[in-house]
A and B are shown apart, each in its own frame.
Chain A
């Protein structure tokens, strides 16, 4: 329930609503955009970052919380391991059971490889499951892969790697077709025509969806298919360190059975890292939309083995995370709301930014509205937010549209007594996505031979800012490409002796550079929310200093 004060403020939103109908706020120019980002986007808050002191990206700027995990000691440093005692011996080892891992597993097996997929939690417990809005593909007559290409490059501030964007946009229609073939229930017209929407930064309506369950629908179906194909799946069994062979090529991983706390040796001819993102590191104290398991494990393992990262200083804050009620603080409110015309308004009921700007610009504009301009709406729990005028959607598209398009979110709010069909949603930017990750080529290869990467733990496709609907696309395009290539590569790989020398060497580098790791051990695997103090709500208004001392990022 909104408080009476908030209800009073909602009247202003209702008053001004008719004026927003059919009127577009001016778009931000390139120069305005650069200035806005520099002043208000969290990526430009210097104290949120530091330079890495070891490894292939030495000197590069990354979020502090990630630097702490990269400059930490291995979990297995003091564990006695017999690397000749191999428990899992396969052609392709896939680490991570989200959408990218599942797609890679299916494609690798189709190429005839013996595949094992190991995952930290349940198979399918992943950010894929939480993607509500949709998946892009240029399949309409007024659209083309070239138009999609331009949107992706502009969205990423032209820093994206062209070959990767080419792969993304060119494979997109084929991926949608594949999803049709395995039985995804896309939103369609009666004759089968896909119903598509805009997202921030799209110049054509190319967002395909399955109501607001798009990620759920894709993940549960991929999981079902992977099980049907008889692929080996090990749940609650994360990898904690990569294994290399004597020549420094990837050759397996050390797995950790979360139940028995045993370490296991897995050998493979090729290894695919698909462990997902890092939102649960709560960069700069932000709440996150991410899954419990999003703790950057793949980055840590890959980096220790010498794999290069790219764009890890570019973090995506989703403009519309829940600011109220606190039980679902930080939860994603899909961009599809804005795709269907919902606009952002301040405490006076005034719009202050074009509703289809890219996510980074949109987030910076919201932070500016709440901090410098002080036109945010305060909540009883001390947070501040901006109205997302959701009822506008029914006004534009007809009564019942919200109900039809957003059944999941309606239910998520209804549990707390809020009706988003009638009342606007209070939102604030929330930590959503790592734009960067381990650098890949168009077949998913890293700079370490036989080590592949796919999905959110990879970097390069999206440049400095990803567009909505390109993440589900990314995990499937590169999951498939990587799975196929890693399976083919197996045929020429000769098995050699396994080593963990790279871990030892990494520890030496830490020591030689005089780094105090302060007892830190990585990968993190599970976030630590076991704080006994009564949690306090952070005031997350664009300054990092008040953030997250005591675990109150939870949702």
Chain B
């Protein structure tokens, strides 16, 4: 492999030369950081590594997932400090799927000024402003579907001038939708009852007693659903 060209980046104000092919996360490790915070799945799905950066000479703060963004020359990097949003403590079993339920725990959604900062920062390209609008209207299904791809990285809350923790609103809506508005699978309930009634017990006990050769014969002759 040819030697890769190095670029200068700044981490917490200090300069480091790192290969230009690295992501922010890998560049920090290359620079010598053993990450404790801000590192999780390393594939952009867990939301642990939300980060803020700026390119030299530019005033704009940019944000994103450290494991998904390549370093650029002159990048100034920091790690976002631990971010402690308010999470409503509710009993999902006694909460109707309505606007009032969300309002009870997150009244600040009515302070949204529509600036769209949340949508602009979302690394998942979710229309965050829209799902908060759905929540205000009591459109639980709309809020649940629009927010479904949320990985709860917290960048929306980090940038929100109305100090809404959007991602906590999203999960409340999704749980209300999943529990109360998505129709139940009746066959599933029936199967649970059948198992409780012991319907499959004899067959299972018989299989458990078979030796490997007999099991092997059963296994290789079983029919496979198309």
Chain A residues packing against B (C-beta within 8 Å): 29-30, 121-122, 124-125, 129-130, 132, 137-142, 144-147, 149-151, 153-154, 158, 162-163, 166, 169-170, 173-174, 176-177, 180-186, 188, 190-194, 198, 203-205, 211, 213, 216-217, 220-221, 224-225, 227-228, 230, 236, 258-259, 289, 291-293, 326-328, 331-332, 382, 407-408, 411-412, 415, 526, 528-532, 534-537, 554-555
With A139-B188, A216-B151, A326-B21 given, can you name 15 additional A-B contacts, CB distance below 8 Å?
A121-B36, A129-B40, A145-B195, A149-B207, A150-B215, A154-B216, A186-B182, A192-B182, A205-B225, A213-B149, A224-B175, A227-B87, A331-B43, A411-B125, A532-B30
> B187 contacts A534, CB within 8 Å?
no
Task: Provide the bound-state CA to CA distance between A221 and B173, in Å.
Answer: 11
Q: Give the number of residues in B that approach A within 8 Å (Cβ atoms).
A: 71
**Most chain B C-beta atoms within 10 Å of own C-beta, residue among A173, A408, A554:** A173
Task: Provide the bound-state CA to CA distance between A327 and B35, in Å.
Answer: 18
Encode contact with A along B25-39: 1 for CB under 8 Å, 0 otherwise.
Answer: 010011011111101
A72 to chain B, nearest CB (A): 18
A106 to chain B, nearest CB (A): 12
A267 to chain B, nearest CB (A): 26
In the complex, what residues of B have CB within 8 A of residue A174's CB?
192, 195
> A190 contacts B183, CB within 8 Å?
yes
**Which among B52-60, B72-80, B89-97 touches the partner chain?**
B89-97
In the complex, what residues of A have CB within 8 A of residue B191's CB?
138-139, 173
CB of B41 closer than 8 Å to a CB of A: yes
> B46 contacts A139, CB within 8 Å?
no
In the complex, what residues of A have CB within 8 A of residue B151's CB?
216
In the complex, what residues of A have CB within 8 A of residue B61's CB?
none
**Contacts A138-B191, A182-B92, A182-B179 hold; do A166 and B39 have CB atoms under 8 A apart?**
no
A536 to chain B, nearest CB (A): 5
Q: Specify the chain A residue showing the minimal Cβ separation from B203.
A: A146
Task: Provide the bound-state CA to CA distance between A174 and B30, in Å.
Answer: 47
In the complex, what residues of B have CB within 8 A of residue A30's CB?
216, 220
Task: Provide the bound-state CA to CA distance between A30 and B32, in Å.
Answer: 49
Number of A-B contacts (CB under 8 A): 222
> B42 contacts A158, CB within 8 Å?
no
CB of B128 closer than 8 Å to a CB of A: no
Task: Provide the bound-state CA to CA distance between A219 and B178, in Å.
Answer: 14
**Contacts A150-B219, A182-B92, A227-B89 hold; do A408 and B189 have CB atoms under 8 A apart?**
no
**Contacts A30-B216, A188-B183 hold; do A292 and B42 have CB atoms under 8 A apart?**
yes
In the complex, what residues of A have CB within 8 A of residue B91's CB?
228
In the complex, 28 of the A-B residue pairs with CB atoms within 8 angstroms, ordered by the A residue number, are A124-B46, A125-B48, A129-B46, A132-B45, A138-B191, A145-B195, A146-B200, A146-B204, A146-B207, A158-B215, A163-B208, A177-B192, A180-B184, A183-B92, A186-B182, A192-B185, A203-B224, A220-B171, A289-B43, A292-B35, A292-B41, A327-B21, A327-B68, A332-B43, A408-B45, A415-B44, A530-B29, A531-B29
In the complex, what residues of A have CB within 8 A of residue B36's CB?
121, 236, 258-259, 526
